[in-house]
Amino acid sequence: MNTNDIYERITATIIEMLEEHKESNFSQSWYSLTGDTFAKNVVTDHVYNGINQLLLNYIKRKKEYKYNRWLTFKQLEKYNARIKKGSKAAMVVYKSVLYLDEKTGKNITRFVEDLLQQKQSIENLNIKKVGYLKNYSVFNVDCVEGLPEEYYKINDLENLSEIERDEKAETILSFMGINIEHAARDDAFYKPSEDKIYMPLTKQFVSADAYYSVLFHEIGHAVGHPSRLNRPLNNKFGSKEYAFHYPN
């Protein structure tokens, strides 16, 4: 993949991410299951920086991965681990440099790097320095089987206190009859194909208000199911249809 391809792929992902952000106004109000605030390489503990942090966090949320932990194919091979069928790699980018002879245009990168490694000066050489992007692939831990157990470790939730249930809110929920599944997880969403709302455990939420705020936001999507209001579920933010169904 050349530099232009990398830029195009990054740009497309950022545009997609901004569109989804406008629709969701996402704000996490629950305790993290994994503690993975930042995307990192699970083997080296290296925290990815710059654009990689942004892209990997987005992919983690979009693909509904439990972990924000990543590793390369070579790293998982060392553990004889296996990539789950259908899993796809994510892209990590980094800057690299080419050194060219200003007169001939010849690539002399290896020669210059040898000089730099020997701590020799290159100031008097007729060199043109050209920066470009390179990339490599990483897989989320959720996509890999057979890694050491500590790579799948999650936070202990036993010491978290249950929120106080709101009787009126629970009555409304019981009448609506929407399928809600609670599990130890780091995301909340409505899945139209299953007509089901997926939520973190109630005790993961920082407060009852936070819990019901998230839950009723997802219910706002669920009521559009054909068995209820039969409201279009795929309207984009900013469209006339979205404005009609989600008035400010």
Q: Which range is most confident: 43-52, 173-182, 218-227?
A: 43-52
How far apart (Å, rounded) are the C-alpha atoms in residues 201 and 183?
A: 5
Per-residue pLDDT averaged across 193-214, rounded? 89
**CATH 3.30.2010 spans which residues of the chain?**
157-248
**What was the pLDDT predicted at 76?**
95
Q: Does the structure show a pLDDT above 80 at 1?
A: no
| 21-30 pLDDT, tens digit each | 555 555 567 7
Please name which of 177, 197, 195, 179 lies closest in space to residue 187, comparing C-alpha atoms: 197
The CATH architecture assigned to 157-248 reads 2-Layer Sandwich (3.30)
Phi/psi-derived region of residue 47, left when phi > 0, alpha when psi is between -120 and 50, beta in every other case: beta
**What was the pLDDT predicted at 72?**
97
**What was the pLDDT predicted at 48?**
92
Band of the pLDDT at 35, cuts 50, 70, 90?
low
3-state helix/strand/coil string of 207-245: CHHHHHHHHHHHHHHHCCCCCCCCCCCCCCCCCHHHHHH
DSSP letters, 88-124, are --EEEEEEEEEEEETTT--B-HHHHHHHHHTT---TT
**What was the pLDDT predicted at 170?**
86
Band of the pLDDT at 79, cuts 50, 70, 90?
very high
How far apart (Å, rounded) are the C-alpha atoms in residues 50 and 59?
A: 15
